Amino acid sequence: MKDIIIVDNKLQPEDFIRLRLEAGFMETPMEQAEKALSNGLFTASAMCGDKIVGMGRLIGDGSMYWYIQDVAVMPAYQGRGIGKAIVTRLISYAEANSLPGSKASIGLIAAKGKEPFYEKMGFTKHPHDISGAGMTRKFIAPGNEPKPNGLGLGNGR
């Protein structure tokens, strides 16, 4: 990872869209990417020279509940510890920006098969003895139609 540096809050919408696509995530329209980034709390990006090759975002209330989202590293750069460095930076930011002595949590939904990566970093799978399953509900905002390529979200189920 000697040629990679982690930078704060440099993620641009174009890189966000590109990295999501390269990681196999659903396509994101430019306007949605711009709004998502402007409404987020913090981003950490991995740079190789002048190119962003990995990213991660923190969203949430910036006090009690932090949520890691959109961790992605270009396939050609995977296996070098870049994802770990990004997640470590996100965790450090949340810890440093929570009220001293307060209880807070960092949540995420791991991509299928990536759970061991996050477990090594101290995250716990749900459900467990204390809490139930993590859950999501997806939807399409009124007035928008699913994409004809089959990536649409249907009626929110």
71 found inside a domain? yes
17 found inside a domain? yes
Q: pLDDT (tens digit, 9 = 90+) per residue, 97-107? A: 999 999 999 99
- d(C-alpha 2, C-alpha 125), whole Å: 32
What is the domain-level CATH number for residue 34?
3.40.630.30
- d(C-alpha 84, C-alpha 13), whole Å: 22
151 found inside a domain? no
21 found inside a domain? yes
Q: Tell me the residue range of the domain where 58 lies.
A: 4-120
Compute CA distances 129 → 65, 67, 122, 143, whole Å: 20, 21, 16, 41
Domain count along the chain: 1
32 found inside a domain? yes
Q: What is the pTM of this model?
A: 0.85
25 found inside a domain? yes
68 found inside a domain? yes
Give the model's confidence band at 153: pLDDT under 50 very low, under 70 low, under 90 confident, else very high: very low
Q: pLDDT (tens digit, 9 = 90+) per residue, 69-99? A: 999 999 999 999 999 999 999 999 999 999 9
The pLDDT of residue 146 is: 57
pLDDT at position 154 over 50: no
134 found inside a domain? no
Compute CA distances 22 → 15, 63, 88, whole Å: 10, 32, 22
Q: What is the mean pLDDT of the chain?
A: 89
